[in-house]
Structure 1
């Protein structure tokens, strides 16, 4: 993919910057290859998107791309976690929290020329509600099931009951969404990229194409793997996905309705799985920015003149345990032994950037509902061995899954973190069988379908509500955890339906304490991820939710 020179009006300033800094600027150097004068911003991504339809996504690499082209009813303030208007200029609910009414922005046009109306909003929500077949697999409908429950006709007894009731459009710029029960997921859930709006023409094209497969063998629908039928309302439109080269190309949308118009003509997300390779590409001037800077590289890049802003802490890394994969893991003393075996502070000290902390529970301390009274599990190899012996599990063998070809905000070096944790487990007599898997789609499918004994995963909050963390994992049976605990399930059902914010906070604390006593997995750490940009770039406002808006990017 070519990287073109900035427009003539900016070339002189960029050239001066290059002359003062050892690293070159690709936007200038590669102009001779392209022969053009369009501004192209290239960002080094840690992994490929799973699909170009955000409704089918569940990971940050997918949403980083789709967020630039597809917009949601609600958004978050730049650089923060407060909800602000998106495609809806106003929103409200009834007293019970079961009817959510959205007054839409005027003059919003999709990339294919269609207009955004209340009826179009309803068409999108009704599409998700009526998904059938492979769409009902959580690999494809993870966020829909998490926020809105099941479907018009559930095809599996494991699928939750639907909470979505319906959508009405009383006039052209109004949509009212009705749910059966109030939830702590609302209104924050309406900001999720998975519920971004698609044009009516796109929806019609999508209907002719279906996914296939099940379990760890899912084939995404063809429309989601190419740019052709996709049309959102965002500042960029997706024009190409070159999977062979790991590049997604987006072009500025001239008729964008919002105030923040694109600052560059083209936006390219180039997949560079290894962090060191992304850093080298930035230093060489082949890209203009990349995410998830290795902690050891931050000072080096800053000394070389690069911009390295740091996001706020809003994530959790954990060791997941699938209890119904093998009987020993369903025994609490065995899970406690695993927790005591792990030197989590060593992970913080050696693998995380400055500001990283050891986690005591499944939410970071920046989220309301954090408890100071949870049961903790200090690094104690002797106690771990004792617990294993008492449980008759001295010869425990576990398959340990970890992701390759990816870096996550909560997990800057998956293979390195795996090696440290493997050594901790083997030090107390646990035999570890490694199972490395590529992030998209193999790793996500294997962990979500309960295919690993233990595994590394994490979460960056989608919105500022503890239920977005706890409810995501523990509000009912899920294959990736493989346990039944009605006390925890009922407690999270209660907190989900509690409309009073203060009362919810107290219930969250109670839930955190119950979860850490039961110990379904081991929270490891929270981390403030860094993102890097070349000196000639005006970067976007960094987001603790990793929801950067690349329309804010321009060249100096």
Structure 2
């Protein structure tokens, strides 16, 4: 068959997929052999992170994509995007006018995969556990607006919030709010290793070598009750060392689907190839890349140094040289397709200018060139990351104002070092927990921010974030959201770089790939099936 490209366009505030090629999610079959999905995500247990799959700890897109298949949440983001809908819950709603009391009733007959009945007490246990453990990943901060969790009988859970939080239903759709069995998860201790027990659409069996998952087998959970239609009986997810090996496996038919992260070259080749048995799906994404600064580090403690870097970075050149049409320059931590976005960095700095950057440093009495190192992860965001940092280094060094070196490290050592404050400047990506501007701002700026950043802005923390959360109509939050974005552009604790699209490649007998990823890069394995290509 001829290879087809699917384009799923974004609309402001709503990302809705439009099918334009072979096979929709309803055309698959739940029979046959396991569908094999390739990924370059690595799942490791280390001394610093011995419990990578505990919902109270996990906080990256890869581990969340395992948990979303296996651990059920009260709410879930719907297939066509939009506001979250009940999942383990039968119904959920705010029961007061101030968005401070949120009540959920559980579905009848909910069971864990082992057959144990799920009650409201299990929900309370799970969420209170994540809040109490306060893992150093910072994921517990998603639940920071909860004051107390109350149960009424076996089927009702009531959340009393400290302050109004219109985004709370979204937070209940994230894995940190996943329902776990108290028999398997201790109250005050993380669960080490790779075992996961929940009530989601699948159960998990992990093949582990040298403390790393090499293959994760997801088997349809016969006890699952929820809104999801599971279009297959089994999925094997295989972790590859790099995108080239993953692509070779797809070409050989060893895997059926290739997900994150493909190289720009692979995507370009597939998008221009006129024939063959591989389909490429292109869809709108909310993934961003940014630089983060340890604002206590001597090299970048001065706001002026960070502003000078912001004045020099040429996003257009960076995207063009590394990602081409697969990404777009980004001038805010909030993507352009999200309600509340403001081009704050462009508004403040305009086009890149060596003269303006030099004037900033001179006025502050800072001698140039300023020497510093940019750190990046070698194996988490795809093979183009190194080239991206080579371009950033060249841009800064060509100005004559900086003397920059770059240094890469694997994710398993990169994350602990970043959290310990060992990096002055480092590159990160963000795949949203949920598609709202709050989730691109509060996790980086609020108390207990997940980067462990020393940067604090009391106006943002105490006034602007709470103000934005009081607005159920997110358009009404635009003023406070814009002020937060302007504060980031002024102080530069973070420097947004680009916003990317996302892609899935598959053999032409696999259906449902148009919904295999949602806008938050959530892997939805239940959408995949086998059928006749169109």
- Normalised by the length of structure 2, the TM-score is 0.84
Q: What is residue 386 of structure 2 aligned with on the other side?
A: 415
Contact 2:281 2:504 in 1 (8 A): yes
**How is 1:215-364 mapped onto 2 (pairs within 5 angstroms)?**
221=190, 223-227=191-195, 230-244=196-210, 246-258=214-226, 260-291=228-259, 292-301=261-270, 303=273, 304-326=276-298, 328-352=299-323, 354=325, 356-364=327-335
Matched, 1:536 2:534: no
- Aligned mate of 1:119, from 112, 117, 121: 121
- Higher helix content, 1 or 2: 1
RCO (CA 8 Å, sep 6+): is it higher in 1 or 2? Answer: 2
- Of 366, 376, 381, the match for 1:402: 376
Shift of 1:469: 0.8
Aligned equivalents of 1:458 and 1:406: distance in 2?
A: 9
Distance 1:283 1:388, change over 3 A: farther
Larger CA deviation: 501-510 vs 298-307 = 298-307
TM-fit CA distance, 1:506 = 1.8
- Asked if residue 548 in structure 1 is aligned to residue 523 in structure 2, the reply is yes
Q: Which residue of 1 aligns with 2:71?
A: 70
8 Å CA contact retained: 1:264, 1:553 = yes
Gaps (5+ residues) in structure 2?
4-30, 45-51
RMSD: 2.5
1:355 Cα offset (Å): 5.5
Residue 461 of structure 1, aligned match among 425, 428, 432: 432
CA distance in 1, matches of 2:225, 2:408: 44
C-alpha separation between the residues in 1 aligned to 2:187 and 2:447? 31
Instruction: Report if aligned partners of 2:307, 2:490 keep a CA contact under 8 Å in 1.
Output: no
2:28 corresponding residue in structure 1: none
User: Secondary structure of the residue that 1:55 maps to in structure 2?
Assistant: coil
Residue 186 of structure 1: CA displacement?
A: 1.1
In the alignment, which of 169, 175, 179 is matched to residue 161 of structure 2? 179
Once the 2 structures are TM-superposed, how far is the Cα of residue 308 of structure 1 from its aligned partner?
1.5
- Residue-by-residue CA offset, 1:114-141 (whole Å, 9 max, x unaligned): 122212111112222332xxxx3422xx
2:456 counterpart of 1:490 = no
**Matched positions, count:** 482
Distance 2:311 2:202 in 1: 48
Q: Distance in 1 between matches of 2:143 and 2:374?
A: 32
Alignment of 1:525 with 2:498, yes or no, is yes
CA positional deviation for 1:207: 4.5
SS at match of 2:282: coil
Q: TM-score, normalising length from structure 1?
A: 0.80
Is residue 88 of structure 2 the alignment partner of residue 87 of structure 1? Answer: yes
**Alpha-carbon distance in structure 2 between the residues aligned to 1:493 and 1:538:** 41
Point out where structure 1 has 5 or more consecutive residues left out of the alignment: 1-16, 22-36, 150-162, 211-220
Hey, what does 1:191 align to over in structure 2? 173
1:144 corresponds, among 108, 123, 140, to 140
Contact 1:347 1:420 in 2 (8 A): yes
- What is the deviation of 1:484? 3.0
Q: Does the Cα contact within 8 Å between 1:353 and 1:527 map onto a contact in 2?
A: no
Q: Does the residue aligned with 1:300 lie in a helix, a strand or coil?
A: helix
With over 3 angstroms needed to count, the CA separation of the structure-2 counterparts of 1:137 and 1:451, relative to structure 1, is farther
SS of 2:113's equivalent in the other structure is: coil
